[in-house]
Amino acid sequence: MDWTTGRVVGKRVWAPGLFTLAVAAPQVEPFEPGQFLQLGLEQPNGHLHRPYSVASPHGDVLEFFVVVVDEGRLSPLLWRMEPGDSIDVSIRAAGSFTLQKCPDARTLWLIATGTGLAPYIAILRRPDVWRRYPHVILVHGVRHDSELAYHEEIAAYSEKHGSQFVFLPTISRQQVAGALFGRITTCLQEGSLETIAQAKIDDHACVMMCGNPDMLRDLEEQLCQRGLRRHSSRQPGHLVLERYW
Ligand SMILES: Cc1cc2nc3c(=O)[nH]c(=O)nc-3n(C[C@H](O)[C@H](O)[C@H](O)COP(=O)(O)OP(=O)(O)OC[C@H]3O[C@@H](n4cnc5c(N)ncnc54)[C@H](O)[C@@H]3O)c2cc1C
| % of the chain at pLDDT higher than 90 | 100
Over residues 135-149, the pLDDT tens digits come to 999 999 999 999 999
Closest ligand 1 atom, CA of 74?
Answer: 25
Q: Are residues 173 and 137 in the same domain?
A: yes
Give mean pLDDT, residues 238-242: 98
Instruction: Tell me, in angstroms, the distance from the centre of ligand 1 to residue 239's CA.
Output: 22
pLDDT (tens digit per residue) in 200-238: 999 999 999 999 999 999 999 999 999 999 999 999 999
Say if ligand 1 is within 6 A of residue 50 CB. yes
Residue 197, domain extent: 99-243
**Residue 40's pLDDT band (cuts 50, 70, 90):** very high
Residue at a domain's end among 90, 115, 150: 90
Mean residue pLDDT of the chain comes to 97
Q: List the CATH number of the domain containing 218.
A: 3.40.50.80
| Same domain? 129 vs 234 | yes
Find the 33 Cα to ligand 1 centroid distance in Å.
19
Nearest atom, ligand 1, residue 95 CA = 1
Final residue of a structural domain among 31, 63, 90: 90
At residue 196 the predicted structure's pLDDT band, cuts being 50, 70 and 90, is very high
Q: Which atom of ligand 1 is nearest to the CA of 94?
A: 1
Q: Whose CA is nearest to atom 18 of ligand 1?
A: 50
Residue 244 Cα to ligand 1 midpoint, Å, equals 6
Mutate to test the pocket of ligand 1, among 14, 31, 56, 69 (most ligand atoms within 8 A of CB): 69
| Ligand 1 pocket, residue 159 CB under 6 Å | no
DSSP string, the chain: --EEEEEEEEEEEEETTEEEEEEE-TTSPP--TT-EEEEEEEETTEEEEEEEE-SS-SSSEEEEEEE--TT-SSHHHHHT--TT-EEEEESS-B---SGGGS---SEEEEEEEGGGGHHHHHHHTSHHHHHH-SEEEEEEEESSGGG-TTHHHHHHHHHHHGGGEEEEEEESSS--TTSEES-HHHHHHHTHHHHHHT---STTEEEEEEE-HHHHHHHHHHHHHTT--B--SSS--SEEEEE--
pLDDT at 131: 98
The predicted pLDDT at position 140 comes to 98
Residues 161 and 234 in one domain: yes
Q: Please write the tens of the pLDDT for every residue from 160-187.
A: 999 999 999 999 999 999 999 999 999 9
CA of 20 relative to ligand 1 center, distance in Å: 15
Using the atom order of ligand 1, give the atom closest to the CA of residue 77: 26
Give yes or no for residue 71 CB within 6 A of ligand 1.
yes
For 190-194, what is the mean pLDDT?
97
125: confidence class by pLDDT, cuts 50, 70, 90: very high
pTM given for the model:
0.97
On whether both 86 and 103 belong to a single domain, the answer is no
Measured in Å, residue 125 CA sits from the centre of ligand 1 at 24
228 lies in the same domain as 157 = yes
